[in-house]
Amino acid sequence: MDLSWTIPVVVVLAAVVALVLRYRKRLAERIRAQRAQRARDGLQQVRAALQDIEGILQPLVAAGEYLPEHTRRGLDAKLRPLTEKALPAVEDLVSDAREDSLRGELEDTLRNTQEIQRILREHNPQYVRKMVADHSKLLVDELTTDTAQQEAVVKDDVRNLVVAGAGSGKTRTLIARIRYLLERRTPPGAILAVTFTNKATEEMQDRLKQM
């Protein structure tokens, strides 16, 4: 049997297979390159959003000030879409792109994001602990306030709502707040205390005079 015709066929088939493999390789490389570019774009957008958040957060933290709750909630609302949607999508793209440089950029961004989350979670409790410690002679030794009262006294939020039953120490807490503000050099004329009855007003005045 003459098999001489099979040699050209095999050669042609081998060439076709080589072309197909080369095409698939180039296609895979193109897809990885596209995913890498999408990952870079996603990382750039996330980093820009993080910079905006840090621009608001860092001056307050550096000054050692209490982070107002409406500000903290606003920053947390800006951060949540990044951690729940944007960053997981970028992680998938980086995993498919298989580029070490991208993986390093992603890890840096994740660390930055986690640090911002930590600050938002821990800054105010740390502030409260520090203020209580700095003013412990007044709050603990002199006024014998409990933990909840101490927190209510030293929180420097725009609004600080205290809800408690009769006889639980609300007036003591309000007086402690006034003493705390005076101890921090707040001008007396900048402090206004309002009550519902003349009796409560006289009680507050008497307690402050005794102090």
CB atoms within 10 A of CB 35: 19
In this prediction, residue 211 carries a pLDDT of: 73
Instruction: Please state the rounded mean pLDDT for residues 184-193.
Output: 91
| pLDDT greater at residue 5 or residue 40 | 40
- Distance of CA 116 to CAs 76, 110, 129, 135, 182, Å? 9, 10, 20, 28, 33
Tell me what percent of the residues of the chain surpass a pLDDT of 70: 85
Q: What is the pLDDT of residue 95?
A: 78
Share of the chain above pLDDT 90, in %: 44
Residue-level pLDDT at 162 = 86
d(CA 141, CA 132): 11
Cα separation, 179 vs 18, in Å, equals: 85
- Residue 209's pLDDT is 82
The confidence band for 210, taking pLDDT boundaries of 50, 70 and 90, is confident
Query: What tokens were used for 89?
Result: 């999508």
Structure tokens at 140: 């603990």
- Between 93-102, 171-180, 182-191, the lowest mean confidence (pLDDT) is in 93-102
Positive or negative torsion for Cα 102, 108, 111, 113: negative
Q: Assign residue 2 a region (left: φ > 0; alpha: ψ between -120 and 50; beta: otherwise).
A: beta
Task: Tell me the pLDDT of the chain averaged across its residues.
Answer: 85
199, pLDDT greater than 60:
yes
